[in-house]
Amino acid sequence: MNIGEMFGRATIQGVVDYILFGNGPEKEKRSCEERLKEPYMKL
């Protein structure tokens, strides 16, 4: 697939979302307790 085909199939909203937010959230590998520990330690 070339760039022209890719943009031909893309919607305006899809392009805007990609520019603003990137590929999407990365998968979190830490447990809930590990994620909460970081902000708690900053307090």
| CA dist., res. 36 & res. 41, Å (int) | 9
Secondary structure of the chain: what % helix, strand, coil (to 5)? Answer: 65, 0, 35
Give pLDDT tens digits for 29-39: 888 898 899 88
What average pLDDT does the chain have? 81
Single out the residue of 26, 10, 29, 28 nearest to residue 18, CA to CA: 10
Indicate if the pLDDT at residue 1 is higher than 70: no
| Domain layout of the chain by residue ranges | 3-42
Q: What is the mean pLDDT of residues 3-26?
A: 79
- Angstrom distances, CA of residue 28 to CA of 7, 8, 31: 30, 33, 8
pLDDT in the model for residue 4: 76
**pLDDT value, residue 14:** 83
pLDDT at residue 2, rounded to an integer: 76
pTM over 0.75: no
